[in-house]
Chain A
Amino acid sequence: MDFNLTEERRMLQDSLGRFLSDKYDHESRRKVIAAGKPYDAGLFAGLAELGVLGALFAEDQGGFGGLGFDLSVVFEELGRAGVIEPVLPAVLTGSLVAENADLVENIIAGEAVVTLAHSEAAARYDLNYVTTTSSNGVLNGAKVHVLNGAQASYLVVSAREGGDDWDKDGIALFLVRTDATGVTITDHVNNDGTSGATVVLDNVTPDARLTGGFAALELAVARGTLALSAEALGAMESAKALTLDYLKERKQFGIPIGKFQALQHRMADVLIEVEQARSAVINLAGHMEADRDTRERHVSATKNLMGRVGAQVVEEAVQMHGGIGMTDEYALSHFARRITMIDHWLGDVDHHLARFIDLSAGEA
């Protein structure tokens, strides 16, 4: 048992942390969003140069990481800084396109964004609901909440080759160029400033049919859930640090508000729960390479806990700040939005609690 990072991961954590604290802050992110841009292309290129995307892939795929703890180290730092650049798509699709060496090379270099076009309007958070069809060599259907869909050069699209709408069997995965004939992408801004899109597929000829079906998709989403959970942890650490500073600096009735026991005790609970969140991320990262049932049980346990703790951290941090905590100008607002919206990606608190129960009973 060892809860210390390896030397390589510690170096990655340090260099990424330094890079982000030099180049990234709330003001610069606000300017990008205000200018109507989905993210800062220069910063994204800098992250790629630093090896952030390479850390998400195994050595035999051209990267230098790819394991659970590689993902958690990278995403905790991204979350701490509040990065909105499109690193997560590489986690969601990386394991699905791993056979395509040229494409992976482009992803690692930051030259291609490949994102997952899977969710459909009626699916809510269920992974097995797919009505998009694949027949006679073309895809037809509509996908929602496609992260960075409008900035991507490729989509990994799930489509049904057989079975009914909710069957796990019969789901296949396809690589689709975003500029292919019949692809219509409509983008929007999410509450946290990230970029989402709706994708309509009208008789689209895919570039390739990928190996793997539902099981591969589930693993990709497990990796994505780990990345999101680690990102939420980093964002919680930032929200916590801002709140601790504020409790020391802000004076009311002539003393720092951190002297008030009503706030101390609530802050103590926040501190405890952030440690719980860190443990939950460690648990998921440490079981990412375990057998499917063990891994998925941790996926749901961790995502449930992150959602609960995330809401507590956000609500308490805003409350202890008072009005200033609600302003767009102050960095807390970004972390509050991001932590909260992470609950809405890849399954929320309630979805994963129900799923944890089913998995524990051997029924999912």
Chain B
Amino acid sequence: MDLNYTDEQQAFRAEVRDWLAETLPREMSEKVRLGKRLTKQDSESWHAMLNARGWLAPNWPKEYGGAEWDAVQRQIFEDECCRAHAPRIVPFGLSMLAPVLMAFGSEEQCQRFLPRILSGEDWWCQGYSEPGAGSDLAAVKTRAVRDGDNYVVNGQKTWTTLGQHADWIFCLVRTDPDVKKQEGISFLLIDMKTPGVTVRPIVLVDGGAEVNEVFFDDVRVPAENLVGEENKGWTYAKYLLTHERTNIAGVGFSNAALQTVKDVAAKVHAGGKPLAQNPHFAARVAQVEIDLMAMATTNLRVVSAAAKGQAPGAESSMLKVKGTVIRQELTSLLRRAVGPDALPFQADYLEGGDNAEMMGPEHAATSAPGYFNNRKLSIFGGSNEVQRTIITKAIMGL
């Protein structure tokens, strides 16, 4: 047992920290720190900065331009990025599609798409969920029918995150409706500019529109855009979800959010004293901090095992549930810390306006929308109820 990082790992952390201090523009980190919404250009320029340093694709092998870091290095990198309030790297191409292409795609598909993911030329989005297929993902109905050298796609995807920016979408489509539902699904890459593709934003409870509905109306997709074999898409989808679940604990996000709660509670006053000194509020913060201290170690136990080549099983689901419960509690604490100044809906500020335009203290405009937005954490990536079922079934074998 040794809770210390090795000298190499500490040197790596210092290198990442220094680079972030030099490279990450202050206006960008302030937006992230304050919970403002990022523009497409923000995401693209951060993507380009990381790519220039060779740190954009931590989990990719070097032959494709990745950093080929182990799980501990990736965790260190995540921690430091969160600590510095770096924008989240848009994961759909880099850490969702790319591993699937490398494992199951053709050499031609890898050569064609991977460099464009790195360069930022292609913005990808995920076409998984449908109105009738949420937690029961294998129930997808979007139909793809082979017609010569093309598939003809009809149907609808939903909850497509940042689909409004996307050039491409990777989709689960039904290619055989007459077999067991998991056995008739294929994994198809679709150019969003193809005639018949329509994107419609969904305005959410936080007033923003980060998700979309995507409609397919007789969309003709070249058959060469099929990944792997027809009707084997469910295998690839599950593979992708295991990659989606890395860093599922969100320890870095929670550490940053905890610091924000503490900063706000030290500044705002209740009963003439800093809120941080209110015993009821302090107790809630302390309890979540204690949970986070333990969860950070639970996460490192899983990460450390993964770095030694062990595949996480039910542990990923445990981290997903506990990690999201903690993150949601922190968004709830921030909203309460801000107090009555969380009331006004200040859309201009949220979309990037400066402090001078805002009513109330820092985080006043973003705390309630942030709280609302983060309800998604226990819903997406396999809802927490799905995860609980996975955990118990895996451990009981029932």
Specify which of A1, A276, A308, A353 lies most central, judged by the most chain B CB atoms within 10 Å of its CB: A1
A186 to B: closest C-beta gap in Å: 37
Is A130 interfacial (CB-CB < 8 Å)? no
Is B392 in contact with A268, judged by CB distance below 8 angstroms? yes
Do residues B294 and A286 form an inter-chain contact, with CB atoms below 8 A? no
Complex contact A356–B290 (CB within 8 A): yes
Q: A272 to B2: give the CA distance in the assembly, Å.
A: 23
Does B18 sit within 8 A of A, measured CB to CB? no
Q: Are A276 and B3 in contact (CB under 8 A)?
A: no
Q: Mark A266-300, 1 if CB is under 8 A from B, else 0.
A: 01110110011111101101110000000000100
- Asked if A2 is an interface residue, CB under 8 A from chain B, the answer is yes
Does B379 reach chain A (CB closer than 8 Å)?
no
Q: Which residue of B lies closest to A245 (CB)?
A: B396
Complex Cα–Cα for A77 and B392 (A): 24
Contact present for A272 and B391 (CB under 8 Å):
yes
Closest to B1 in A: A69
A43 interface residue (CB < 8 Å to B): no
Contact residues in B for A282 (Cβ distance below 8 Å): 1, 3, 297, 301
Q: Is the CB–CB distance between A3 and B1 below 8 Å?
A: yes
CA distance A282 to B296 in the complex (A): 11
**Main SS at interface, chain A:** helix
- Known contacts A271-B395, A301-B293, A304-B290; is A276 also within 8 Å of B300 by CB? no
Q: Identify which of B3, B389, B398 contacts A265 (C-beta below 8 A).
A: B389
Q: Complex Cα distance A280/B293, Å? A: 8
One of A4, A261, A276 near B294 (C-beta < 8 A) = A276
A199-220 near B? 1/0 per residue, CB < 8 Å: 0000000000000000000000
Inter-chain contact A353/B1, CB cutoff 8 Å: no
- Which residue of the partner chain, among B282, B315, B318, B396, contacts A248 with CB atoms under 8 Å? B396
User: A37 at the A/B interface (Cβ < 8 Å)?
Assistant: no
Q: Is the CB of B1 within 8 A of A4?
A: yes
B2 touches A247 (CB 8 A): no
In angstroms, how far is the closest chain B Cβ from the Cβ of A276?
Answer: 4
Contact yes or no, B3 A283, CB < 8 A: yes
List of A residues within 8 angstroms of B294 by Cβ: 276-277, 279-280, 283, 301, 305
Inter-chain CB contacts under 8 Å: number: 124
- Name the B residues within 8 Å of A256 (CB-CB): 398
CB of A4 to closest CB in B, whole Å: 7
Q: What sequence of 0s and 1s flags, for each residue 104-144 of chain B, a beta carbon within 8 Å of any chain A beta carbon?
A: 00000000000000000000000000000000000000000
Of residues A268, A278, A285, A287, which shows the largest number of chain B Cβ atoms within 10 Å of its Cβ? A268
Taking CB atoms, residues of chain B closer than 8 Å to A360 are: 286, 289
Q: Do A353 and B396 have beta carbons less than 8 Å apart?
A: no
Stretch binding the partner chain, chosen from B4-12, B38-46, B220-228, B231-239:
B4-12
Residues of B within 8 A of A356 (CB): 286, 289-290
What's the tally of chain A residues with a CB closer than 8 Å to chain B?
43
Give the contacts of B289-330 with A (CB-CB under 8 A): 289-291, 293-298, 300-301, 304-305, 314-315, 317-318, 321-322
What are the residues of chain A within 8 A of B318 when measuring CB–CB? 271-272, 275
Contact among A9, A276, A353, A357 for B322, CB-based, below 8 A: A276
Digit string of B74-86 for contact with A (CB within 8 Å is 1, else 0)? 0000000000000
Given A3-B305, A5-B1, A279-B294, the answer on whether A244 and B396 have CB atoms closer than 8 Å is: yes
Kindly state the separation between the CA atoms of A247 and B396 in the bound complex, as whole angstroms: 8
1/0 per residue, CB under 8 A from A, across B265-294: the answer is 000000000000001001100110111011
A244 to B314, CA, bound (A): 15
User: Counting CB contacts under 8 A, is B217 at the interface?
Assistant: no
Q: Which of B360-398 contact A (CB under 8 A)?
A: 385, 387-389, 391-393, 395-398
Q: Does A86 contact B (CB under 8 A)?
A: no
Q: Taking the nearest CB of chain A, how far is it from the CB of B75, in angstroms?
A: 10
A275 neighbours in B (Cβ, 8 Å): 298, 315, 318
Query: Which residues from chain B contact A265 at a C-beta distance below 8 Å?
Result: 385, 388-389, 392
Give per-residue flags for B152-195: 1 if the beta carbon is below 8 A from chain A beta carbons, else 0. Answer: 00000000000000000000000000000000000000000000
Knowing A1-B6, A268-B321, A271-B318, say if A285 contacts B1 (CB, 8 Å): yes
Q: Would you mind naming 11 contact pairs between A and B with Cβ atoms under 8 Å apart? A: A3-B305, A244-B396, A259-B398, A265-B388, A268-B321, A275-B315, A275-B318, A279-B295, A282-B297, A283-B297, A308-B287
Chain B contact residues, CB within 8 Å of chain A: 1-6, 9, 72, 279, 282-283, 286-287, 289-291, 293-298, 300-301, 304-305, 314-315, 317-318, 321-322, 385, 387-389, 391-393, 395-398
Known contacts A2-B1, A248-B398; 10 additional CB pairs below 8 A are A69-B1, A264-B389, A272-B391, A279-B295, A280-B290, A286-B3, A301-B289, A308-B287, A356-B286, A356-B290
